[in-house]
Amino acid sequence: MERTTTKLDSAGRIVIPAEARKALGLKPGSEVIVRFEGGEVRVTTREEAIRKAQDLVCRLVPKNVSLVDELIAERRAEAKRELED
């Protein structure tokens, strides 16, 4: 399912069609992220947003780099500078 039509109810809510809910794995109470971009409303599951963020980090950070180790080194250097001041 790529596209469908739905309507706003009297309270301004949009019903996500059953086929789309099933494809996204949404159940009552599922949390979703709603983004507004370029005149569009995009609904994404939390899991998909996390997966996309992880993919982005993997593309931008070389495999041999540990962001955790870099952060710890930066914090230690900052603490050392504070002690010297």
- Residue 48 domain-assigned? yes
Asked if residue 10 is part of any domain, the answer here is no
pLDDT band at 59 (very low <50, low <70, confident <90, very high): very high
- The domain in which residue 24 lies consists of 18-84
At 63-74, the pLDDT tens digits run 899 999 999 999
Which pTM was predicted?
0.61
Total domains present in the chain: 1
- Residue 48, classified by CB atoms within 10 Å of its CB into exposed (0-12), middle (13-18) or buried (19+), is middle
Report the pLDDT value the prediction gives residue 85, as an integer from 0 to 100.
80
Structure tokens at 52: 């996309």
Nearest to 29 by CA among 45, 40, 41: 45
Reported as a single tens digit per residue, the pLDDT across 7-16 is 999 999 998 9
What is the predicted pLDDT for the residue at 1? 67
